Amino acid sequence: MYVILTSKPGQFRTETVNGLRPLEAYDYVFYGQTKAHFVIAELLEERTRIRVIEDDTAIVNDVPSKFLEKFETTEQALRELRHLTSFGHMDTELRQTALPAS
């Protein structure tokens, strides 16, 4: 199974933890400004907790993966990302980026 991890610069970031294997990364660009960063990751362990860190307060939330939408393939996850980041004729782009070194 595959999940989409979301980070929003200046708001929160989602970190990959044990039980996740990051595969692809994308920036969501809206009228030239990066609004979000997405990582498609393989869910290796069913009971994985996803770490979400608030940027302004550094509060850490470990969210059970059961609350994330899951996809059978990376292609399905990418199709969902494209659907979520396109709005008619607005200037949006889903730009593939390199995964951070681990």
Domain map (residue ranges) of the chain: 2-97
Asked if residue 102 has pLDDT above 70, the reply is no
In this prediction, residue 91 has a pLDDT band, given cuts at 50, 70 and 90, of confident
Average pLDDT, the chain: 93
Consecutive H or E run containing 10? none
For the residues 73-82, what does the mean pLDDT come to? 95
Asked if residue 101 has pLDDT above 80, the reply is no
Asked if residue 12 has pLDDT above 90, the reply is yes
Residue type, 3: V
Distance, in Å, from the CA atom of 47 to the CA atom of 101, rounded to the nearest integer, reads 25
Tokens of 60: 């850490």
For the residues 54-68, what does the mean pLDDT come to? 93
Q: What is the pLDDT of residue 51?
A: 95
Instruction: Report the Cα 44 to chain-centroid distance in Å.
Output: 16
